Every structure is written in C-alpha cells, then in structure tokens.
C-alpha cells in the first residue's frame, strides 16, 4: 500500500474534484511504475559464453576449438600477399588518408564471430556476458589475462573509452547508429562494463554492436593526445595476435605475431594466427602484381582477374609443381559488385536515364569475351542467398510494400524484381541501344545536330566513369562506347589511387565501380549503406539514396524477431532497392581462385564463410626449405 504523510494527505483531501482526480492519476502512475519495476526485477537474466539472437550456438561453453581449424597447426614462417596502389596512414578508422592493408589486425573486440555460423558471437576479450530477456542492457566480464601489446591490462575503462571515442569522433554514419542504439556505458568494476540500450532501438543489433567494438587503450590515447579520425603513421596499440613490425611507405608493410600474445590458449584461437610474419607487397596494378608473384616477390595470391586465371598461369614455377593453383568453395553472399550511379548528380535524378544506362552494359559479351565464362551475373543485393527477391511479390511481401507504394518506384507491387539487363553476344547490342535511346527521348534528353543528347536547357548529358585500376580498362571502355553511341557525352577517367580515394570520399564522381557486401543477418549497417540520414555522410552510401520507403523497409528488417520474418523483410527491401536502378550490377564467382608457392597448408574443409588464408592456414617448414634449396625461391 502506498502511504502519504498526514499533512500532504490532508491537503489533497480538502482540494476540489479536479485535484482529487489528478491525485488518483498520480497514484495509478506510481503504482504502474512499481509494477513495471517489479516485472523488470523478475526478468530472467541470461549468462552465456556467446550470443545468437535467432537461435542456439553451435559451440558449447566447453568447446576445445573451432571445427574448421587444425588445432595442432604449427606456428612459424611468413605468408605474403599483395596490396593495390599506395598507403599513407596506419590508422584504419579515419576518413583521412589511405590506411595500410591489415592496419586493423592489432585490435580485438569483446566478442568475435566464427566463419561457419551466421550471427553467432563468442567471447574474446570478454569471458562471457549477461543480459535480461528484454535485452535492455548487457554486461561483459573482461578476461583478467587480457593484455594490450605493451603488457597493460585491458579494462572496463578502456571499453567505455572506446565507446565514447567512437561516439565523439567516429565516422558520421557509425556515430548515428551508435547514438540510436546505445543509451550509455557504465563501469561496474575493473573488468565489468555495462551498456544500456535505448528502448526503441533494434533489439537484434544491440549486443553485436557493443560486442564488436575494437577496444582501444585509453592510456595510449591520453598519453599521445591522438584522435581516432586523423591521418597518422604511428599505430595505436591493440591487444591482437599481430603487431606492426615495419613498413616502407607505398612499397610494403610487415606485421609480426606478438610472442607475448595473451590469448594463445583460448579455444576460439586454437589453430589460428599461425604465421610468425604477414607481409603485404604493394603494386601499382594487377599486371605488375602478377609478375611479382611469379618471381616470388610474394607467395600467396587470391586471383581476381579471370583473364589471368585462364591464360596467365603458364610459367615454369607452376609447371614444375612449385606453385599450387586451385579453386576452393565460397559459401558467402556475392559482394554486390556494380557500376554505381551518384544520385547526387542532377543527370541521374530521372529513373529513365538510369534505366537507359543499365541497357548499355553488356555482361554476356564481357563474360564470354573478357572473362572466359567464369562469372555469373549479379541481380540482387543478396545474390547467392535465400534472401534474393524473386518473381512477383508474395502476400507477405505485399503486406510490407503496399503501405509504402506511394514512396517507392512504380510497379513495385505488381512486377518481378528488376534484373540485370540481358544482352546479345556482340559488344554492341542494337536492340538494347534502341531501348536506351527511347528511354532517353522519353526523359527529355534529345539528340542534337552534333549527335549529343541535350535537355531543354541545352545542357549535354555528361557522364564520367571514374576508375583506379588498369585491369578495368577492357571492361569499361566498351561500356563507354555504348554510352557514346546513343549520344551520351561519356568519358573514362582512370586516376591514381590517392586521387580516387579523395574523390569518392567527397562524392566527386558520376559512376564508379563499388561493392555492397551484405550480411545473412543484416542489421543497422543497412542504414550506413542505404539510409537517408547517412546519404551525405556515409562512405558506404555511395549512390546517396534518400528514400522514405527504403528507410521504412530497413526498419522492418531491424525489427524482425524470427528468421522467416527476417527473410521476408530482406526480400522486400531487396526488391525495392533494385527498383531504384541506381546500380548496373556486374558479376560474381562462387569460388575462391587461389595460387600460392607450395609451402602452405589448409584444413581439408574450408570454412563456408571465410577462405582464412591469414587466419587458419599454416606454414610447412619442410616444403619451404625445399623451395629455397631448389633455388626457385629465395
């Protein structure tokens, strides 16, 4: 029973009816809050070694090692690969400068994912976590043995500092997501950190977001007075298996395995981090990189050129068995590689113009003539997965799309999803040229006496395709010729990597090649790629899409509480994104094409979602010695 002091009670009793009514409202409010508080206190608290929003974890708390690793893999040796272009920074969390490859390898998070599960997280810096059923907060217990590379302990203060650092100085798009989900962080003890979540935030993203922070050393940042968003060649210290060893700007960077790494004996780490040294050699283009591989300048190559894969691997070291060439399965979603149109440019505001441009890229001819038939076409943002929209919308999809029909492109309710345009086997498909020409006419871009298309103001339809890699010349140039053939004032501009980085980060481009690597459990990251609030801030929202309908469909994905609802929500989102035609989808390959000097080994069964060459492969010292003694590799 709720009681009041007598003097206060007398005041209320002697007041008028309206006041007495307000009194009862106050009493009911207080009583309601009491019931809510009691219910919250009675909530079940879950304690676990891992977390998965949708289901059971594959690995129990007493697991010995991950299924896809060799727990007895030897430690030692070096693996080297290549990087494209240049670098001028060792800070991977800044928009300024171009960070060296693998610059984030030194940092660990409270939890980590595995390469054979979707959406599962296990304790890394944290031994475990506890949270209530309503996911209103989470508490992590940081392992007492966790250490930064300078030997200092990883503490709850470091975790809180990291949260506040990213909230203050992180990428704008990331800060927006962080501010939307997390209410605050609280240190409960030297190794206990609590994150409280906003009640209206997406439940599924709460724990993965804070569990995935790359925890920074508060002492290092305070000592150096460094910031997170700055270009610097001095890396912050981390707690990871590898630390920076040495580098030569624009030529190479080398990382060494920390001999005092604190987490060697963790079950999550057994059979991983097997190389003593990881080295990245930089080359100006793919051709130079391939010549470097053949000469032994580096020893592992993940091949991304179909032409090189089909015709280039005919050299003495491979023919004599010193180099291994093979394909390995890739179970992940296609990367969504595509030509991306910058919707911030006025010439792309009309969807008819975007549709016309899509008809001028000939995938079929490119695949047969340039790629030796090695690729499949990308059509969906979730290509090679069950989330790709197909056919006309189902009733379940319509339930999500119908309320938004007025703020989505026409035909969204009745038509099949937009697919990549099919072309003939000639570089110039005349039928598609006619379709593109008619679309441009309808959009008001008319061919003038000089053969160029102009609008009613006399402006020509100018389009620049921006690229940084010479390997794309043979792909882009036929596309440009098709654009020109219908009267578009198209040019191809290949610039150096530094200029490319600067221009793309400032959205100073018309069309570029980009990727949209989606997840099988998509979450708040969707807002960084497709959200209106990030359109002029996020480095991931390349095209700058701002759509009330897309924003609402993203919310449906974030609020999905079971796998079937998630699938339907993603399919509806995929269908809507494709309807905007801001991309011209390119291609993908469902295998890893790898070549390496014969001194590395891997488990018989590669993890479905990661090739893992720098993670769980290992060095065979005897094979390496044989290569050296033969004189083919120094």
- Evaluated on CA atoms 206, 611, 143, 215, the torsion sign reads negative
CATH number, domain at 179? 3.40.190.10
Please, which residues have CB within 8 angstroms of residue 339's CB and are 6 or more apart in sequence?
A: 361, 465, 479, 511, 512, 513, 583, 584, 586
**Is residue 237 included in any domain, yes or no?**
no
User: What per-residue string of b and e applies to 307-326 under the rule 16 or more CB within 10 Å gives b?
Assistant: ebbeebbeeebbeeebbeee
At residue 5, does pLDDT exceed 60?
no
- Residue 199 sits in the same domain as residue 264: no
At residue 31, does pLDDT exceed 80?
no
Cα distance from N-terminal residue to C-terminal residue, the chain: 85
In this prediction, residue 230 carries a pLDDT of 86
- Residue 395 sits in the same domain as residue 524: yes
**Is residue 78 included in any domain, yes or no?**
no
Q: What is the mean pLDDT of residues 438-456?
A: 96
In this prediction, residue 362 carries a pLDDT of 96
**Is residue 101 included in any domain, yes or no?**
no
Max intra-chain CA distance, the chain: 104
Of 174, 192, 224, the position where a domain reaches its end is: 224
Q: What is the pLDDT of residues 384-422, one digit of tens each?
A: 999 999 999 999 999 999 999 999 999 999 999 999 999
**Is residue 75 included in any domain, yes or no?**
no
- Residue 402 sits in the same domain as residue 483: yes
- Residue 347 sits in the same domain as residue 478: yes
- Residue 262 sits in the same domain as residue 401: no
- Residue 557 sits in the same domain as residue 413: yes
- Residue 404 sits in the same domain as residue 520: yes
Percent of all residues in the chain with a pLDDT value above 90, rounded to a whole number: 80
**Is residue 570 included in any domain, yes or no?**
yes
- Residue 130 sits in the same domain as residue 178: yes
Q: What is the pLDDT of residues 298-314, one digit of tens each?
A: 999 999 899 999 999 99
In terms of C-beta density within 10 A (0-12 exposed, 13-18 middle, 19 or more buried), how is residue 260 classed?
exposed
Dump the DSSP string for 300-350.
EEE---HHIIIII--SHHHHTTSEEEEEEE--SPP---EEEE-TTSGGGSS
What's the domain count of the chain? 4
Q: What is the mean pLDDT of residues 261-286?
A: 96
- Residue 518 sits in the same domain as residue 534: yes
**Is residue 198 included in any domain, yes or no?**
yes
- Evaluated on CA atoms 368, 371, 372, 378, the torsion sign reads negative
CATH number, domain at 443? 3.10.105.10
- Residue 111 sits in the same domain as residue 139: yes
Q: List the domain range (segments joined by +) for residue 251.
A: 242-332+591-630
Look at strands 587-588 and 583-585 and give their pairing. unpaired
- Residue 399 sits in the same domain as residue 520: yes
Q: What is the pLDDT of residues 576-619, one digit of tens each?
A: 999 999 999 999 998 999 999 999 999 999 999 999 999 999 99
- Residue 383 sits in the same domain as residue 513: yes
Average pLDDT of every residue of the chain = 91
At residue 34, does pLDDT exceed 60?
no
**Is residue 69 included in any domain, yes or no?**
no
In terms of C-beta density within 10 A (0-12 exposed, 13-18 middle, 19 or more buried), how is residue 618 classed?
buried
In this prediction, residue 42 carries a pLDDT of 63
CA distances, 98 to each of 89, 91, 102, 240, 335 (Å): 6, 8, 12, 22, 22
At residue 17, does pLDDT exceed 80?
no
Work out the pLDDT band at 39, boundaries 50, 70, 90: very low
In this prediction, residue 58 carries a pLDDT of 96
In this prediction, residue 14 carries a pLDDT of 32
Percent of all residues in the chain with a pLDDT value above 70, rounded to a whole number: 93
**Is residue 91 included in any domain, yes or no?**
no
């Amino acid at each position: 029973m709720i009681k009041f002091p007598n003097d206060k009670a007398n005041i209320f009793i002697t007041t008028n009816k309206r006041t007495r009514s307000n009194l009862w409202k106050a009493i009911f409010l207080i009583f309601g809050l009491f019931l809510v508080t009691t219910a919250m206190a009675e909530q079940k608290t879950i304690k676990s070694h891992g977390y998965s929003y949708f289901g059971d974890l594959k690995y129990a708390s007493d697991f010995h090692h991950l299924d896809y690793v060799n727990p007895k893999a030897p430690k030692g040796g070096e693996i080297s690969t290549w990087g494209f272009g240049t670098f001028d920074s060792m800070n991977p969390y800044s928009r300024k400068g171009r960070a060296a490859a693998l610059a984030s390898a030194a940092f660990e998070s409270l939890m980590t994912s595995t390469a054979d599960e979707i959406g599962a997280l296990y304790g890394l810096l944290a031994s475990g976590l506890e949270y209530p059923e309503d996911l209103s907060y989470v508490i992590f217990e940081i392992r007492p043995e966790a250490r930064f590379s300078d030997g200092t302990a990883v503490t709850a203060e470091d975790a809180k500092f990291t949260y506040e650092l990213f909230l203050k100085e992180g990428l704008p798009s990331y800060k927006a997501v962080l501010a939307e989900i997390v209410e605050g962080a609280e240190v409960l003890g030297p190794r206990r950190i609590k994150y409280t979540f906003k009640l209206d935030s997406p439940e599924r993203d709460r724990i993965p977001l804070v569990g995935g922070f790359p925890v920074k050393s508060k002492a290092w940042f305070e000592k150096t007075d460094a910031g997170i968003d700055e270009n610097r060649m001095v890396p912050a210290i981390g707690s990871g298996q590898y630390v920076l060893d040495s580098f030569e700007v624009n030529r190479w960077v080398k990382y060494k395995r920390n001999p005092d790494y604190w987490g060697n004996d963790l079950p999550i780490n057994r059979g991983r981090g097997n190389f003593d040294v990881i080295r990245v050699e930089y080359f100006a283009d793919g051709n130079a990189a391939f010549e470097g591989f053949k000469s032994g300048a580096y020893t592992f190559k993940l091949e991304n050129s179909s032409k090189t894969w089909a015709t280039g691997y005919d050299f003495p070291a491979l023919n004599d068995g010193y180099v291994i060439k093979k394909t390995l399965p890739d179970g992940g979603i296609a990367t969504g590689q595509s030509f991306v149109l910058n919707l911030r440019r006025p010439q792309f505001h009309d969807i008819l113009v975007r549709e016309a441009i899509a008809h001028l890229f000939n995938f079929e001819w490119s695949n047969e003539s340039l790629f030796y038939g090695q690729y499949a076409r990308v059509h969906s943002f979730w290509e090679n997965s069950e989330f790709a929209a197909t056919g006309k919308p189902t009733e379940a999809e319509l339930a999500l799309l119908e309320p938004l029909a007025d703020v989505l492109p026409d035909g969204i309710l009745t038509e099949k999803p937009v697919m990549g345009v099919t072309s003939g086997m000639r570089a110039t498909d005349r039928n598609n040229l006619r379709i593109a020409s008619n679309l441009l006419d309808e959009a008001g871009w008319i061919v003038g006496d000089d053969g160029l298309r102009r609008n009613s103001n006399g402006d020509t339809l100018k389009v620049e395709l921006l690229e940084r890699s010479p390997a794309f010349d043979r792909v882009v140039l036929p596309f440009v010729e098709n654009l020109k053939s219908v009267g578009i004032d198209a040019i191809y501009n290949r610039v150096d990597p530094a200029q490319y980085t600067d221009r793309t980060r400032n959205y100073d481009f018309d069309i570029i090649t980009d990727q949209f690597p989606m997840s099988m459990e998509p979450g708040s990251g969707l807002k960084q790629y497709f959200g209106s609030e990030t359109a002029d801030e996020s480095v991931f929202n390349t095209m700058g899409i701002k759509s009330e309908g897309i924003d609402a469909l993203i919310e449906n994905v974030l609020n999905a509480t079971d796998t079937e609802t998630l699938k339907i929500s993603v399919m509806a989102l995929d269908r809507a994104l494709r309807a905007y035609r801001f991309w011209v989808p390119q291609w993908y390959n469902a295998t890893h094409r790898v070549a390496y000097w014969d001194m590395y080994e891997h488990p018989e069964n590669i993890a479905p979602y990661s090739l893992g060459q720098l993670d769980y492969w290992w060095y065979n010292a005897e094979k390496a010695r044989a290569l050296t003694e033969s004189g083919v590799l120094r």
